[in-house]
Amino acid sequence: MMTIAGVVLAGGQSSRYGKPKMFEMFNGQFLYQYSLQALKKNALKPLIISTNASLSPQFEEKDVRLNIEEMSHQGPLFALNNLLSKTPDVDWFFLLASDMPYITDSFVNKMLSFVDDTYDAIVPKQSDKIQPLAALYHRRALHKTETLLQQNKRSMKSLLDQLTVYYVPVSDEEQALININAITDWPELPNTVYNKGDYHD
């Protein structure tokens, strides 16, 4: 039986944001919880938060595995390689970035409908823009991620160039793929964004 893990990538440096953005509050939830809930509502198992040792104590979810990266802030390709090598019991990994407040379970469900073992990755595409951090990767990608890291190539595009990828066309009006890189990216909604008061860099 095919297993599909739901993974929230939450180990980034948030350098453009200025502090760990995954712990910002938006409409009563931490930012990363939007991605986690979208995966959870599709009954993906295991649920995994991929993060680093300094951030891991901040996550309090039950029934969620924490995958601690050995080295911090090495980028999503490093995180994916870490997941593939440490989780041999999973066939597919649905990666979601931790900064997508409009991601929905219906978007995740749509992406899941394209899963097919003839592909190594299922990636959404808006016009010419791909979103590799809201995508599915088969564990067959492990050899490629290892090779690229050995060559000091860190971009997700360099990985996709070597995989058999199905690109899912997504409307330019679809908001699910909007991510928050800087504080100015937030919509102007008063009283919705708060800092996590007990977090200190």
What confidence tens digit (pLDDT) does each residue in 172-200 have? 989 999 888 777 787 754 344 444 333 33
Identify the band that residue 121 occupies on the pLDDT scale cut at 50, 70 and 90.
very high
Residues, the chain, total? 201
Q: What percent of the chain has a predicted confidence (pLDDT) above 90?
A: 63
Phi/psi at 111 (nearest 5 deg)? -60, -40
Instruction: Provide the 3-class DSSP secondary structure of residue 65.
Output: strand
**Lowest-pLDDT range, 37-46, 62-71, 159-168, 170-179?**
62-71
Exposed, middle or buried, 162 (CB in 10 Å: 0-12/13-18/19+)? Answer: middle
